[in-house]
Amino acid sequence: MSVQVYAYELFPGRTLHVGLFHDVTNAGELLSQLLAQTIDFSLINAEMVTGLFPLHAAASRTLLSSQNNALMTNTLHSELVYNLSGSRNVTDSLRRFGISAATTKLLICAFDADAAKLDEMRRLVQGTLVDVAGLESPSHVTPATLQQLKKHYKITDVELTASSLTDAIVTRIATKSVNK
């Protein structure tokens, strides 16, 4: 498996490199490095991401915020984690969707990475690099995680009769700045 690269038509020349790792054993160490600001990646708890669509919606919001000089966080990579959340509380967003010491499934993302950055991305994580398409698998979201996501994004069972969980989440991500 390899790190996937995504380009954004609305943001010419901008890319997002995404790697999905399972069986991560050094999450605590990665968290320490992230807090010490010695690494510049988005480290996301993959269990809280229901697919690539929410990730791309959050990445688009991040690039738009960057373009408008309106980042809510200190870095582009922390802004991606913040934008994945339905909350406007930065600390809460980073805690819920970012890496923790207990994380075993990790999405690592980098905007506009060069070859050296991609090598660093692969070397940093002690785990198994798997296909990013695994996020789309129905078994990816456990029943417990489903309940957490429904609570966090305030999604009702009635809403899920009319749309998918992923669509409901993307709606929250896209309208985050206008919802109260």
Domains located in the chain, CATH noted: 4-174 (3.30.2380.10)
Task: List, for residues 129-177, the tens digit of each pLDDT value.
Answer: 999 999 998 888 999 999 999 999 999 999 999 999 999 999 999 998 7
* pLDDT surpasses 60 at 179: no
- 58: how many CB neighbours lie within 10 A of its CB? 28
Predicted pLDDT of residue 97:
97
Specify the range with the lowest mean pLDDT, choosing from 14-18, 47-51, 53-57, 174-178: 174-178
**pLDDT interval class at 178 (50, 70, 90):** confident
The CB-based long-range contact list for 175-180 (8 Å cut-off, 24+ gap) reads: 176/61, 176/83, 176/86, 176/88, 177/88
As a whole number, the mean pLDDT across the chain is 94
Predicted pLDDT of residue 132:
96
Predicted pLDDT of residue 86:
85
Task: List, for residues 117-132, the tens digit of each pLDDT value.
Answer: 999 999 999 999 999 9
> Got the DSSP string for the chain?
---EEEE-TTSTT-EEEEEEEES-S-HHHHHHHHHTT---SEEEEGGG---HHHHHHHHHHHHHHHHTT--SSSSHHHHHHHHHSS-S-HHHHHHHHB--TT--SEEEEEET--HHHHHHHHHH--SEEE-GGGGGSGGGS-HHHHHHHHHHHT--HHHHHHS-HHHHHHHHHHTTTT--
Residue type, 19: G
